[in-house]
Structure 1
């Protein structure tokens, strides 16, 4: 039986030649009956082929031979375009190659293996009654596009040249996504170059046999290579970026290395003037600039006429400056129309009254420093009125939700129902109504919707929010995928919503408020308590209760048998943070004496320091989102007692959707904002406290598990770490 001879005909380009030689080596190593002759066509000028052929001849391989094909006398290829030069050069060698094949009649030529540029030799192979195969040194994606474009031309009579310099997209059967015309190889849309496309009635068998790489010759033996490798040896693992653009990969001087200084990307943060919103945005800013040295952040500070704790916090930022993070105080607006608004709309309208002032300050900042390139606005949810201003300045905007993805999902869903389905939001004022929301596993009771969404003035604003969210470049959320997986993944799957970046938890862990004498006294008291024995009650900035409710809470704590730390504050009056002057006036008679050994009542609480203390085993919370994240971070189970804003929705998610909390009164709606008060009885409160404090409960186990996931999310390669990287890439791509 004669051995089977394969004749390989590569294009005279180094990358094509090496790949075909590696395929030849693989074939003959797999089957002893195969031998290969590689026909070498050479350009009159060297393309790197000569030295490679010499290396093959110096290190011969059994059953692999080299045959140099005489140069054609035709010089027609010299007058062709860049795209057709190689095919024309090869066409001029068809007769020479045919004669070379016929000159060896004693050989049983089993097949010609042709480079994609050598398809003009297929007819010659047919004349010699020898089968031919085309070897594609590029990927299957390019092969698929060639077949598709040929099909459009021959079977659908479509003019493919219309795609040249267009924004069109093609639906190509071998791609998952639509293919932009601008990424098609230029040869495909060049009138002459496109004539080299495959033109056959059907696609023959396809054999994926790669990667075919010349791994045995890494060209490490020269002095030049030795110097390069020595330099690399001195660098840390995976630290070097390598730039290499192939044999023809040169650039113009403008595109190449220059001395121009690239402008840093400046981000303008516009938080709402509330501590929870401001701190969360500052922590996001710190995280961004720590990840990328080309970023700097300016935080616009807008202050209410009365202090909400913002002034002292901004002073602390100034006293402990962070590189590339600055604050910009926005002058107060002359408008006071926000004062006549309902409590549901006052924040939004206050921020709206400052749009012009923010714009003027930002424009002045850029004029003062020409090196500043504002890459994006990062806007608080209450600052969406500034999206249009950002558009006027031709600056993209992102909305940052200091609340969870659950609230974001509800706002978008209610807006979609109103605008796309013409639903009346009024029907959800019925407390027994339930909504089917695509971002929640369970039906959502209408009674846990934020009151603002159903209030006549507030609902118009929340609908506006949903509309404006869709106009942004992205939605950033202070959450992490592992906590709100269903909501986040559902939002990301909705193609009507901009990209969602879950980048939390963003917590100010470096300042736990434990340096004051008051905090030191609290922590000393906790130090004396057993592990996970104390129930901590804290209800946020607005978390005051009427006296009747205070008494019920006190009785519940006394009869629960657990040590307690209770942040007890009056119902907040406008512009004032206060504390009780005489606790005996509001607590049950003798309560302080009876609980003096087990309980401690405080005003302000250093919440982070308390939650991180080993003695704290349960947290009765108003379910502000920052408090939820802090509770999760430190692995402290919660009993939910929401009262306003989106807190009821947060409580529903934590209890019903995630099983990470127990509820005391999930629909304790509008407290502090309504004349209609609901009093929760002591027996119910006691029962729920005992449930959340139970050792070894399923909730305690789940909270311990999510604690670990919260920390992993922000660690290197964690979900939030990766999403923050995606966000930075998107910002810098602008």
Structure 2
């Protein structure tokens, strides 16, 4: 038996995703026992976090680090420094687990928690990464880091350029204007470079994808001349069973059950996906114009809060934010919520868009503040995108159906996802001293 110590980033979404990955590994391979060290997110209780995780068992256990006194939180503390402040506690916990497991131990760090890999280095423990995004973005990260370190080419210099880049993980040239903001920001790019170099130094990377969905990216990583660790395509990691256990989630799913199949547009932008009141009104106007049914996870954030990187909150004053009369006019076709049981919603027969197969609204849109004030996307632009997604006989819908079948096949016994998990465990066994 080998012990894997998973260390996810703080935040329920990160913890839940990592815990589901761990559960699949345990269910798929009886050689594995897993311990998940949970670093609390600021202003989130340990009870909220524990309720979001799959149940523990004899081979899947949790260590919930204590939540600190919120009054002592430094408002100017960065995400990285917050992680650093927990290193000593995590190190002590890993040492205890190592003694119990008699040294048959490896560490798996979630992609936004890479500073914890220092602990594995100090203790001479093999380290792996769980990359919750797709392989194409991983390839882009490593490529821009290669350009910077090996070819002395800094992509942040392309901020206002119309240059197009050759990226090996992509099938076509990438306009510089389409690079993520973190790659064009002089302030934030060094953090990305450090993360990319850390990833290169690990023993392997578990990625939430599969080769049939991203053939070009996996071709890039499989090249013999690539200075990258092995990639294990263990995706899709989708089924978070605790998503809809509470009353709020059940109410949302009951509403969806009442809608015709393939008729509902789901608007949900993740834990950091909040918008200003101005942008929210543009979205509302577009939704009403299209006439399509919708489920909207609406969260607000002011321009000042965007600049500060504040996590958006649920909207409590809908009548003041939305166009006058919007709620009455859309009462029969739409539902506005705050929190959303995302996976359970996407599994409902009334959903049409999944897994990033989407219509382009504006290629160079910048919602975040890394490159200045957030932009406003107009109602007309949003309306065109919605109509493209909701066309009954569109190529996009056909592509979604094809992708769904590939994902289902990957999770079957003998499928590519389970095979990749076993390859990963075999590699861990080989790397443990």
TM-score by length of 1: 0.54
Aligned residues: 423
The 8 Å contact of residues 379 and 398 in structure 1, kept in 2 or not, is answered as: yes
Q: CA RMSD in A?
A: 2.5
Aligned residue for 2:300, secondary structure, equals: coil
Pick the aligned partner of 1:278 from 6, 15, 35: 15
The answer to whether residue 249 in structure 2 is matched with residue 519 in structure 1 is: yes
Rounded Cα–Cα distance in structure 2 between residues aligned with 1:495 and 1:580? 47
The 8 Å contact of residues 208 and 234 in structure 2, kept in 1 or not, is answered as: yes
Identify the residue that residue 321 of structure 2 maps to in structure 1.
586
Do the aligned partners of residues 677 and 691 (structure 1) sit closer, same or farther apart at CA in structure 2, a change above 3 Å counting?
Answer: same
Identify the residue that residue 489 of structure 1 maps to in structure 2.
219
1:440-451 correspondence to structure 2 within 5 Å: 440-451=170-181
Pick the aligned partner of 1:505 from 229, 232, 236: 236
Identify the residue that residue 536 of structure 1 maps to in structure 2.
266
Do the aligned partners of residues 265 and 384 (structure 1) sit closer, same or farther apart at CA in structure 2, a change above 3 Å counting?
Answer: same
The 8 Å contact of residues 399 and 472 in structure 1, kept in 2 or not, is answered as: yes
Rounded Cα–Cα distance in structure 2 between residues aligned with 1:703 and 1:310? 37
Aligned residue for 1:373, secondary structure, equals: coil
Task: Flag the structure with larger Rg.
Answer: 1
Pick the aligned partner of 1:393 from 123, 143, 146: 123
The 8 Å contact of residues 504 and 720 in structure 1, kept in 2 or not, is answered as: yes
1:349-498 correspondence to structure 2 within 5 Å: 349-367=81-99, 369=100, 371-493=101-223, 494-498=225-229
The 8 Å contact of residues 338 and 349 in structure 1, kept in 2 or not, is answered as: no
Aligned residue for 2:37, secondary structure, equals: strand
The 8 Å contact of residues 6 and 37 in structure 2, kept in 1 or not, is answered as: yes
Identify the residue that residue 732 of structure 1 maps to in structure 2.
429
Pick the aligned partner of 1:304 from 41, 44, 47: 41
Higher RCO (CA < 8 A, seq sep 6+): 2
How far 1:551 sits from its partner (Å)? 1.5
Identify the residue that residue 27 of structure 2 maps to in structure 1.
290
The 8 Å contact of residues 434 and 443 in structure 1, kept in 2 or not, is answered as: yes
The superposition leaves residues 342-362 of structure 1 with CA deviations (integer Å, 9 ceiling, x where unpaired) of: xxxx33332233333222221
The 8 Å contact of residues 418 and 424 in structure 1, kept in 2 or not, is answered as: yes
How far 1:693 sits from its partner (Å)? 0.5
Rounded Cα–Cα distance in structure 1 between residues aligned with 2:51 and 2:351? 31
Do the aligned partners of residues 525 and 386 (structure 1) sit closer, same or farther apart at CA in structure 2, a change above 3 Å counting?
Answer: closer
How far 1:403 sits from its partner (Å)? 1.0
How far 1:331 sits from its partner (Å)? 5.7
Pick the aligned partner of 2:56 from 321, 327, 332: 321
Do the aligned partners of residues 390 and 522 (structure 1) sit closer, same or farther apart at CA in structure 2, a change above 3 Å counting?
Answer: closer
Identify the residue that residue 676 of structure 1 maps to in structure 2.
373
Rounded Cα–Cα distance in structure 1 between residues aligned with 2:299 and 2:31? 45
Do the aligned partners of residues 701 and 581 (structure 1) sit closer, same or farther apart at CA in structure 2, a change above 3 Å counting?
Answer: same
Aligned residue for 1:378, secondary structure, equals: strand
Identify the residue that residue 596 of structure 1 maps to in structure 2.
331
The superposition leaves residues 364-403 of structure 1 with CA deviations (integer Å, 9 ceiling, x where unpaired) of: 3333x3x443421101223322334312322111111111
Identify the residue that residue 38 of structure 1 maps to in structure 2.
none
The 8 Å contact of residues 565 and 599 in structure 1, kept in 2 or not, is answered as: yes
Do the aligned partners of residues 458 and 374 (structure 1) sit closer, same or farther apart at CA in structure 2, a change above 3 Å counting?
Answer: farther
Rounded Cα–Cα distance in structure 2 between residues aligned with 1:725 and 1:270? 20
Do the aligned partners of residues 414 and 311 (structure 1) sit closer, same or farther apart at CA in structure 2, a change above 3 Å counting?
Answer: farther
1:141-180 correspondence to structure 2 within 5 Å: none
How far 1:575 sits from its partner (Å)? 7.2
Rounded Cα–Cα distance in structure 2 between residues aligned with 1:490 and 1:603? 39
Pick the aligned partner of 1:608 from 327, 335, 343: 343
Aligned residue for 1:544, secondary structure, equals: coil
Identify the residue that residue 685 of structure 1 maps to in structure 2.
382
How far 1:576 sits from its partner (Å)? 6.6
How far 1:554 sits from its partner (Å)? 1.2
Aligned residue for 2:316, secondary structure, equals: coil
The 8 Å contact of residues 333 and 354 in structure 1, kept in 2 or not, is answered as: no
The superposition leaves residues 323-345 of structure 1 with CA deviations (integer Å, 9 ceiling, x where unpaired) of: 311112346799x998646xxxx
The superposition leaves residues 608-640 of structure 1 with CA deviations (integer Å, 9 ceiling, x where unpaired) of: 2222222233x4xxxxxxxxxxx24xxxxxxxx
Do the aligned partners of residues 667 and 286 (structure 1) sit closer, same or farther apart at CA in structure 2, a change above 3 Å counting?
Answer: same
Rounded Cα–Cα distance in structure 1 between residues aligned with 2:214 and 2:204? 18
The 8 Å contact of residues 377 and 395 in structure 1, kept in 2 or not, is answered as: yes
1:26-37 correspondence to structure 2 within 5 Å: none
Rounded Cα–Cα distance in structure 2 between residues aligned with 1:281 and 1:267? 12
Rounded Cα–Cα distance in structure 2 between residues aligned with 1:277 and 1:316? 10
Structure 1: unaligned runs, 5 residues or longer: 1-263, 620-630, 633-653, 655-659
Pick the aligned partner of 1:714 from 404, 411, 426: 411
Identify the residue that residue 363 of structure 2 maps to in structure 1.
666
The superposition leaves residues 434-484 of structure 1 with CA deviations (integer Å, 9 ceiling, x where unpaired) of: 211111111112233222223233211211222222221111111111111
Identify the residue that residue 228 of structure 1 maps to in structure 2.
none
TM-score by length of 2: 0.90
How far 1:673 sits from its partner (Å)? 6.3
Rounded Cα–Cα distance in structure 2 between residues aligned with 1:281 and 1:563? 33
Identify the residue that residue 696 of structure 1 maps to in structure 2.
393
Rounded Cα–Cα distance in structure 2 between residues aligned with 1:405 and 1:289? 23
Do the aligned partners of residues 302 and 459 (structure 1) sit closer, same or farther apart at CA in structure 2, a change above 3 Å counting?
Answer: same
The superposition leaves residues 239-271 of structure 1 with CA deviations (integer Å, 9 ceiling, x where unpaired) of: xxxxxxxxxxxxxxxxxxxxxxxxx21111111
